[in-house]
């Protein structure tokens, strides 16, 4: 089964061209395959919507903390206001009835993609006027109303709180909250640094962030009647004022309200223009890390509580608040977009994961996304940054299983239709190889059986008896990867400084072996095998460029935007030298005497390549050195290895062609292929199985005392010794199926590992000191050791 994107001009909601797909993947609002349209009018409307959507970049993709969302206090926050939730729904339904009965019940999903191109402006750290935004992003701005004078300071407010706590009289605090949150005008009067200043720049919004944080932090410890009055005021203010053209003060007030998330504010995101959303996004960047994560956690918590309420009776029926979860997810997308604009990001992309979604019907979400695209029907797959890597693995595995079953069923039908006797082997991808010709036999088998790549893999070593129950398959991967990546083989170059491999730029007549490596990686993902491969993150970014193989085979693949940071991850010494060139304060042309040309050694011969036409005649100067560095990096990571990487790309996608790849970030593809680098040896101890030992035996107790006391480096060596990789599968240590078996050999012997079965054979050492000594010797000298 081959998945390809439609040709240019086809109206799709989900499969833009290669450059757009790369942008889609990086930004995170994945666009799925579109359902077929029935009429020409619908196609025209879809094309117009797609053209409009393509003008602006999508919201970025990004692991989250909502797993404990049902227990972290959100219950108290939301149940306190349950009596007011009905009011929100009634007023929203009343407002929506004036136009369309479904306008606010099902938010427009595609609106979330309408973010302006502001990434470069933000990263340049210049003071940029909002008025200098592109013309299409400008919106008519009404005149700013005059604000009342409010003189309360942070200290005055804190004094009021202390007095209220000591006296029990909360009237002054209650009056402050009721008045402040009654209208946008009052919010600006209290929290605006200077009520008379316009604050037109995106660098300085004029919000007194310290005062806002103090007021919100104090609200959590106030009596319920104070909290209720705040919520009531916010709801009334939003319903009355969030209509028509918005002033800059309106946007400023809304940014303040977004820090205390409630459903009504989430829904208002649907009604913002692109210009207004760009301002909101820039405001999120200036929130402190603690506050930023706090709001993200609240949103994740809110989604979790709505999906699995502890007390369902405290919430209105789902049919009356269908807009809650889509609206909250869109606001999360806004925060995720803001997070991706910063380098390094404010919080990790994993902090946006909501592991509560692991417990919903993920395949129904995936199929809805496939069938309805970015239409009015909401699916979490439209916002993959919120789906955990574990959940994405489930989607990919089940999608793979369905493809395996489909291919196997078709093979069976073809066999029966030709009146041939069915054979069980036809249901599998059977690979037969000789150990002495491992690479060539594997390449021949995978090339000859290209139509069977999506079947379940079974490996047989010629001349050896044995049934492949998983061990032979893993051994085949281990031996093949080790041989292909050996420096003497010449396909990949190992960089000691970065501890990773990169593609050799040497030209050759046949790149089929690179296709084999790509197919191996695809088979590993497809068959849930973790490989011991060390590619830099840039490799996985290129592998998803684009995530769906284009129909036109002349379209470039594996080409992505690369930066000096990408080069640092592969060749840090060279990248440091280029960085020094950029910061050099002297005369670059006279001191460096370089041109737009690079030199590479190929089989003992120095060859030169121009970075641009007539590059050998263009000197590098202070004025063009940035262009030189960018062209140099692009040459090293894209152009010089294009044929090698294109073969690798097509090999990977020949196995893993799936729309599920649109859900993944490059970092997540790496985790699926190589596993996670985060070790939890206590979790491994809990899930370990024993053969010949009991977990209470003295030798086992010695073993875990020693292992838990190891440094991280020794723990990684142990894992690599026993399993063939120092990384952990996506499902955690439990998915390793690690086993410790009793070895009846002399205690003078070192431990032995069967890496194909993740099994450690441990002699019954007499004491802890002896066990530690023998174990360290074994795992520290294990290159090629004990591989069976």
Which residues form the catalytic set?
Answer: 756
Q: Which helix (H) or strand (E) holds 162?
A: helix 154-167
* Per-residue tokens: 602: 């190929």
- Is 779 buried (19+), middle (13-18) or exposed (0-12) by CB count in 10 A? buried
CA distances from 233 to 172, 181, 289 (A): 16, 6, 28
Sheet harboring 689-691: ordered strands across? 689-691, 739-742, 759-762, 752-754
Residues paired with residue 289 on neighbouring β-strands, in sequence order = none
Q: Rg of the chain over CA atoms, in angstroms?
A: 30
Instruction: Specify the residue for token string 């197919």.
Output: 519
Contact 743, 763 (CB under 8 A): yes
How would you class 103 by CB atoms within 10 Å of its CB: exposed for 0-12, middle for 13-18, buried for 19 or more? middle
DSSP labels for 600-640?
EEETTEEEEEESSTTGGGSB--TTTHHHHHHHHHHHHHTGG
CA angle 332, 257, 350 (to 5 degrees): 25
Cβ partners under 8 Å of residue 704, min gap 6: 685
With the C-alpha atoms ordered 681, 685, 689, 694, is the resulting torsion angle positive or negative?
positive
CA distances from 303 to 177, 262, 356 (A): 27, 11, 9
Rounded CA separation 335/355 (Å): 18
For residue 82, give the nearest of 181, 218, 228 by alpha carbon: 228
Q: 65-95: b or e for each residue (b if 16 or more CB lie within 10 Å)?
A: bbbebbebebbebbbebeebbebbbebbeee
| Rounded Cα–Cα distance for residues 275 and 118 (Å) | 11
**Six-digit token string for 407:** 């291919």
Determine the 3-state secondary structure of 750 from DSSP: coil
Strand partners, 429: 457
Look up residue 61 and give its DSSP letter.
Answer: P
Tokens linked to 101? 């009965």
> Cα 94 vs. chain centroid, distance in angstroms?
39
Closest by CA position to 529, among listed 573, 486, 583, 480: 480
- What is the Cβ-side half-sphere exposure of residue 543, based on CA atoms within 13 angstroms? 28
Structure tokens given for 754: 């069967």
DSSP string, 531-589: ------HHHHHHHTSSSSEESSTTS--S-----HHHHHTT-HHHHHHHHHHHH--S-HH
> Exposed e or buried b for every residue in 185-202, given b needs 16+ CB within 10 A?
bbbbbbbbeebeeebebb
The H or E element spanning position 768 is: helix 768-780
Strands 549-550 and 597-602: unpaired
């Amino acid at each position: 089964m081959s998945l390809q994107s439609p040709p240019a001009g086809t109206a799709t909601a989900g499969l833009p061209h290669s450059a757009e797909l790369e942008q889609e993947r990086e930004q995170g609002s994945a666009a799925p395959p579109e359902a077929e349209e029935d009429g020409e009018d619908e196609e025209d409307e879809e094309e117009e919507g797609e053209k409009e959507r393509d003008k602006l970049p999508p919201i970025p993709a990004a692991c989250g903390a909502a797993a404990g969302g049902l227990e972290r206090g959100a219950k108290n926050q939301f149940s306190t206001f349950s009596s007011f939730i009905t009011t929100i729904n009634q007023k929203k339904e009343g407002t929506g009835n004036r136009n369309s009965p479904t306008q606010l019940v099902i938010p427009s999903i595609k609106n979330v993609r309408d973010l302006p191109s502001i990434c470069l402006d933000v990263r340049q750290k210049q003071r940029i006027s909002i008025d200098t935004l592109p013309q299409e992003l400008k919106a008519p701005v009404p005149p700013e109303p005059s604000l009342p004078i409010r003189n309360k300071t942070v200290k005055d407010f804190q004094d009021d709180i202390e007095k209220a706590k000591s006296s029990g009289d909360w009237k002054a605090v209650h009056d402050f909250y009721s008045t402040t949150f009654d209208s946008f005008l009052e919010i600006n009067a209290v929290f605006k640094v200077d009520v008379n200043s316009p604050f037109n720049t995106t660098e300085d919004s004029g919000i007194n962030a310290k005062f806002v944080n103090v007021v919100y932090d104090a609200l959590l410890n106030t009596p319920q009647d104070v909290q209720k009055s705040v919520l009531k005021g916010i709801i009334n203010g939003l319903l009355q004022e969030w209509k028509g053209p918005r002033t800059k003060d309106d946007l400023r007030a809304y940014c303040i309200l977004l820090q205390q998330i409630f459903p009504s504010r989430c829904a208002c995101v649907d009604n913002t223009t692109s210009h207004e959303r760009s301002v909101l996004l820039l405001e999120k960047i200036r929130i402190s890390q603690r506050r930023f994560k706090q709001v993200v956690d609240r949103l994740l918590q809110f989604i979790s509580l709505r999906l699995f309420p502890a007390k369902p009776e405290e919430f209105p029926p789902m049919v009356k608040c269908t807009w809650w979860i889509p609206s909250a997810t869109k606001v999360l997308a806004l925060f995720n977009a803001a997070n991706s604009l910063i380098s390094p990001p404010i919080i990790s992309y994993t902090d946006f994961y909501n592991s509560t979604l692991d417990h919903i019907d993920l395949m129904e979400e995936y199929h809805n996304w496939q069938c309805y695209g970015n239409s009015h029907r909401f699916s979490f797959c439209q916002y993959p940054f919120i789906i955990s890597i574990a959940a994405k693995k489930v989607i990919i595995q089940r999608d793979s299983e369905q493809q395996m079953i489909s291919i196997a069923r078709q093979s069976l039908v073809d066999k029966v239709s030709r009146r041939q006797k069915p054979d069980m082997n036809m249901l599998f991808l059977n690979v037969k190889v000789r150990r002495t010709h491992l690479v060539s036999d594997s390449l021949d088998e995978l090339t000859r059986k290209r139509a069977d790549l999506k079947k379940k893999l079974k490996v047989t070593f010629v001349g050896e008896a044995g049934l492949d129950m998983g061990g032979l398959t893993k051994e085949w991967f281990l031996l093949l990867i080790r041989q292909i990546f050996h420096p003497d083989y010449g396909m990949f170059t190992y960089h000691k400084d970065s501890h990773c491999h990169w593609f050799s730029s040497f030209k050759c007549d046949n790149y089929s072996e690179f296709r084999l490596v790509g197919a191996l990686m695809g088979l590993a993902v497809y068959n849930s095998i973790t490989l011991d491969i060390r590619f830099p993150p840039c490799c996985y970014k290129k592998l998803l460029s684009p995530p769906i193989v284009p129909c036109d085979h002349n379209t470039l693949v594996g080409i992505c935007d690369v930066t000096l940071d990408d080069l640092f991850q592969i060749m840090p010494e060279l990248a440091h030298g280029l960085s020094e060139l950029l910061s050099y304060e002297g005369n670059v042309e006279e001191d460096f005497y370089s041109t737009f040309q690079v030199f590479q050694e190929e089989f003992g011969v120095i060859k030169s390549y121009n970075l641009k036409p007539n590059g050998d005649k263009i000197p590098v100067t202070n004025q063009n050195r940035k262009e030189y560095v960018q062209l140099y990096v692009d040459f090293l990571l894209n152009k010089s290895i294009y044929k090698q990487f294109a073969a690798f790309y097509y090999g990977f996608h020949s196995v893993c062609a799936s729309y599920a790849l649109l859900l993944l970030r490059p970092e997540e593809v790496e985790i699926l292929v190589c596993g996670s680098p985060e070790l939890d040896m206590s979790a491994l101890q809990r899930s370990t199985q024993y053969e010949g030992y009991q977990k209470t035996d003295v030798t086992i107790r010695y073993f875990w005392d020693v292992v838990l006391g190891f440094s991280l480096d020794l723990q990684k060596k142990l894992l690599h010794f026993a399993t063939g990789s120092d990384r952990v599968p996506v499902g955690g240590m439990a998915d390793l199926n690690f086993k410790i078996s009793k070895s009846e050999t002399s205690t003078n012997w070192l431990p032995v590992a069967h890496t194909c079965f993740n099994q450690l054979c441990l002699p019954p050492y007499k004491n802890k000191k002896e066990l530690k000594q023998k174990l360290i010797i074994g795992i520290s000298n294990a290159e090629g050791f004990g591989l069976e």
